[in-house]
Amino acid sequence: MGGIMGFFSRTQISTPSSVAREALPWSALALLWLVGLYMRLPILIAPPLAGDIAEALSLGSAAVGALTTVPYVVLALSMMLAVRFARGIGMLRALVLALVIVTMGSGARGLTLSVPVLFIASVVMGLGLALMQVTIPALLRDWTPRHLALGSTVYLNGMTVGELIGAGATRPIVLKLAGDSWQVAMLLWSLPALMIVALLVLKLRAAPRRAGGVSEAESGPRRGISLRSRRVWLMGVPLAASVGLFMATNAYMSSILDARDETELLTLALLFYNASPLAASLVMLWRGRRWITRRWPLGIFAALGVLGLVGFLAMEGWPALIALVVSGFGITLELTLIMALPPCLERGEAVASLTAGMSFVGYSLAFVMPMVGGWMAEAFDRASLSLWPMLVFAALSLVAVCRMPMTAREDDETAVPA
């Protein structure tokens, strides 16, 4: 065990001076950012095009909403399958294949007017996104071995920017370039991914191999994913809180403001709330390396997410909007710090295993709790109740934050001795 702790103390980035002495791997960081861009962008181009798709295919509101939710559900449920597949062919090969699958699935949605094909393509895209989510953290030890925290922050920043431009640039920019054709717009968004695939292929060909033909991302102990692991749950529950709060707030914001006769604030509320992740990701680029693997920043930001949402529900007008932004800022930093932990705490294939396990728990719970809130709001005819189940869950998740392991295999009773 002492040898393991010594390994992590050497590989983690603990001080700014140690980072400064190492030349930054700019090409790897740029590629990480580009790959991160397509981890959420293909999903979030659907909502801005929802009206056009519904009109062309005669879809109801539930079916249109499913175009966004189906890839997330598939992503959550296929995590375990994804990590086993990645182990079989290698992490970098799996990432190349994953982005090809995402590109094909996303592009196929623009090549059909068949509803079944549209949803099959969304499922395929979700499978590719699951494979991307488990391979990128594992590859950080190959690509940015002396800058793990920075590498994590960069690809998560790319993911945040992808969410913003997917939701914000699709209709005003890409749809106009596509001649107001939603199908062409989806195809246009898929084309840049082919360039990233080409860069990944070059990276694959140039990738150095360790002794025995095994890369750093594929070396290390083979640990299976077990939902009985304390670590998976202690990391997965706060992850569910951050993802679920963001999803639920976006989903029910309109009905809550409408019930308070503040419909005129909806546009600003959506804009400010969905811009808060970008501000949070920029703060992470600035200070994130000092916060990763430390408990106090994670706890503070998780608490801000909860308290900000309580303020939004308790207040009205501009004070409520400010509280909403504080909540979005906090939960984004919480999510980023949690997702950055696996490559800092594990090595080899165990990184992908931990990422898959906690993501399975996190995304599965994040879908259930907002649905409970929607049922309560409808049953009691009170819009604000839609957020309370997720809010209570997020508050209780602070207990998991306090007990979350922040060092290698700490307190994990199911760990396999190394």
pLDDT tens digit sequence for 39-72: 989 988 887 888 888 888 887 766 776 777 788 8
Domain boundaries, position 376: 230-403
Query: Do residues 151 and 77 both lie within one domain?
Result: yes
DSSP state, residue 296: H
Query: Do residues 97 and 176 both lie within one domain?
Result: yes
Query: Do residues 157 and 294 both lie within one domain?
Result: no
Closest to 314 in 3D by CA, of 411, 391, 203, 254: 391
Provide the pLDDT confidence category of residue 205 given band limits of 50, 70 and 90: confident
- Residue 329, pLDDT > 90, answer yes
- Residue 200 has a CB neighbour count (10 Å cut-off) of 21
Q: Is residue 68 part of a domain?
A: yes
Query: Do residues 64 and 196 both lie within one domain?
Result: yes
Closest to 132 in 3D by CA, of 231, 17, 36: 36
User: What is the length of the chain?
Assistant: 418
CATH number at residue 131: 1.20.1250.20
Query: Do residues 391 and 285 both lie within one domain?
Result: yes
Q: What tokens were used for 308?
A: 């900000």
pLDDT at residue 32 in the model: 93
Q: Within 13 Å of residue 347, how many CA atoms lie on the same side as its CB?
A: 17
User: Do residues 33 and 284 make contact, with C-beta atoms less than 8 angstroms apart?
Assistant: no
pLDDT at residue 319 in the model: 94
Mean pLDDT of the region 218-242: 76
Provide the pLDDT confidence category of residue 275 given band limits of 50, 70 and 90: confident
pLDDT at residue 163 in the model: 83
Closest to 239 in 3D by CA, of 305, 318, 180: 305
Domain count, the chain: 2
Closest to 25 in 3D by CA, of 173, 164, 150: 150
pLDDT at residue 160 in the model: 85
Q: Is residue 323 part of a domain?
A: yes
Query: Do residues 161 and 266 both lie within one domain?
Result: no
Closest to 364 in 3D by CA, of 63, 78, 133: 78
Domain boundary among 205, 222, 239: 205
- Residue 18, pLDDT > 50, answer no
- Residue 30, pLDDT > 50, answer yes
Mean pLDDT of the region 347-373: 84
Domain boundary among 168, 188, 205: 205
Query: Do residues 131 and 188 both lie within one domain?
Result: yes
**CA-to-CA distance for 372 and 355, rounded, in angstroms?**
26
Mean pLDDT score of the chain? 82
- Residue 374, pLDDT > 60, answer yes
User: Do residues 238 and 334 make contact, with C-beta atoms less than 8 angstroms apart?
Assistant: yes
pTM confidence score: 0.77
Mean pLDDT of the region 332-356: 85
Mean pLDDT of the region 101-126: 90
Query: Over the range 98-135, which residues count as b (16 or more CB within 10 Å of their CB) and which as e?
Result: bbbbbbbbbbbbbeeeeeeebebbbebbbbbbbbbbbb
Q: Is residue 379 part of a domain?
A: yes
Query: Do residues 130 and 34 both lie within one domain?
Result: yes
Query: Do residues 148 and 241 both lie within one domain?
Result: no
